Amino acid sequence: MFADRILSGMRPTGKLHLGHYHGVIKNWVQLQSEHECLFMVADWHALTTNYDDVAVIEQSLWDMVIDWLAAGVDPAQATIFIQSKVPEHAELHLALSMVCPLGWLERVPTYKDQIEKLSHKDLTTYGFLGYPLLQAADILVYKANQVPVGEDQVPHIELTREMARRFNHLYGREPGFEEKALAAVKKLGGKKGKLYTELKTRFQQEGDEAAVEAAHALLQDAQNLSIGDRERLFAFLENKGRVILPEPDALLTAASRMPGLDGNKMSKSYGNTIALREAPESVSKKVRAMPTDPARVRRTDPGDPAKCPVWQLHQVYSDEPTREWVVKGCTSAGIGCLDCKQPVIDGVLREQRPMFERAQKYLDDPTLVKAIVADGCERARKIANDTMKDVREAMGLGY
Ligand code: TRP
Ligand code: SF4
In terms of domains, do 168 and 225 share one? no
Q: Can you spell out the DSSP letters for 89-106?
A: HHHHHHHHHTT--HHHHH
In terms of domains, do 156 and 9 share one? yes
In terms of domains, do 80 and 154 share one? yes
With a 6 A CB cut-off, is 296 part of the ligand 2 pocket? Answer: yes
For position 327, what pLDDT does the model report? 98
Rounded to an integer, the average pLDDT of 98-127 is: 94
In terms of domains, do 55 and 201 share one? no
Q: What's the number of domains the chain is made of?
A: 3
Rounded to whole angstroms, how far apart are CA atoms 210 and 208?
A: 5
Q: Which residues contact 116 (CB under 8 A, 6 or more apart)?
A: none
**What are the tens digits of pLDDT across the range 282-299?**
999 999 999 999 999 999
Exposure pattern of 292-315 as b/e (b: 16+ CB <10 Å)?
A: bbeebeeeeeebebeebbbbbbbe
Task: Please report whether residue 267 resides in a domain.
Answer: no
Task: Please report whether residue 346 resides in a domain.
Answer: yes
Rounded to an integer, the average pLDDT of 51-60 is: 94
Whether the Cβ atoms of residue 348 and residue 51 lie closer than 8 Å to each other = no
Tell me, what CATH number does 132's domain have? 3.40.50.620
Q: Which atom of ligand 1 is nearest to the CA of 138?
A: 12
Q: Which atom of ligand 2 is nearest to the CA of 327?
A: 7
For position 241, what pLDDT does the model report? 76
In terms of domains, do 123 and 210 share one? no
234 has pLDDT over 80: yes
Rounded to whole angstroms, how far apart are CA atoms 371 and 377?
A: 10
254 has pLDDT over 80: no
Burial class (CB in 10 A: 0-12, 13-18, 19+), 389: middle
Q: Which atom of ligand 2 is nearest to the CA of 336?
A: 5
Q: Which residues contact 254 (CB under 8 A, 6 or more apart)?
A: none
Query: Residues of the chain with pLDDT > 90: what percent?
Result: 83
Task: Please report whether residue 329 resides in a domain.
Answer: yes
Q: How confident is the prediction for the chain on average, in pLDDT?
A: 94
In terms of domains, do 98 and 222 share one? no
Which range marks the domain in which residue 74 is found? Answer: 5-172+251-256+365-394
For position 240, what pLDDT does the model report? 77
**What are the tens digits of pLDDT across the range 127-142?**
999 999 999 999 999 9
For position 2, what pLDDT does the model report? 73
For position 32, what pLDDT does the model report? 97
Ligand lying nearest the CA atom of residue 308: 2
In terms of domains, do 84 and 194 share one? no
**What are the tens digits of pLDDT across the range 312-346?**
999 999 999 999 999 999 999 999 999 999 999 99
**Beta-sheet pairing, 5-10 with 36-41:** parallel
In terms of domains, do 347 and 388 share one? no
Smallest CA-to-CA distance from 138 within 30, 26, 48, 229 is with: 48
Q: What are phi and psi of 214, to 5 degrees?
A: -60, -40
* Atom 3, ligand 2: residue with shortest CA distance: 337
CA of residue 295 to ligand 2 center, whole Å: 10
Exposure pattern of 233-248 as b/e (b: 16+ CB <10 Å)?
A: bbbbbeeeebbbbebb
**CB hemisphere CA count around 306 (13 angstroms):** 0
Q: Is 282 annotated as a binding residue?
A: no
For position 318, what pLDDT does the model report? 97
Cβ atoms within 10 A of the Cβ of 394, count? Answer: 21
Q: Is 262 annotated as a binding residue?
A: no
255 has pLDDT over 70: no
Lowest mean pLDDT among 203-212, 258-267, 281-290: 203-212
In terms of domains, do 34 and 132 share one? yes
Ligand lying nearest the CA atom of residue 139: 1
Rounded to whole angstroms, how far apart are CA atoms 229 and 192?
A: 14
The one-letter code for the residue type at 87 is P
84 has pLDDT over 90: yes
In terms of domains, do 343 and 333 share one? yes
Rg (CA), the chain: 26
Q: Identify the bridge partners of residue 40 per DSSP, sorted by sequence position.
A: 9, 81
Rounded to whole angstroms, how far apart are CA atoms 321 and 204?
A: 64
Q: How confident is the model at residue 1 (pLDDT cuts 50, 70, 90)?
A: low
173 has pLDDT over 80: no
Task: Please report whether residue 14 resides in a domain.
Answer: yes
Q: Is 119 annotated as a binding residue?
A: no
Residues flanking ligand 1, CB < 6 Å: 7-11, 42, 45, 135, 138-139, 147, 149, 153
243 has pLDDT over 90: no
CA of residue 9 to ligand 1 center, whole Å: 5
Rounded alpha-carbon distances, angstroms, from residue 289 to 65, 77, 299, 312: 30, 40, 15, 15
**What are the tens digits of pLDDT across the range 364-384?**
999 999 999 999 999 999 999
For position 309, what pLDDT does the model report? 97
Rounded to whole angstroms, how far apart are CA atoms 251 and 145?
A: 9
In terms of domains, do 201 and 94 share one? no
For position 135, what pLDDT does the model report? 98
Rounded to an integer, the average pLDDT of 45-66 is: 95
Which one has a higher pLDDT value, 113 or 6?
6
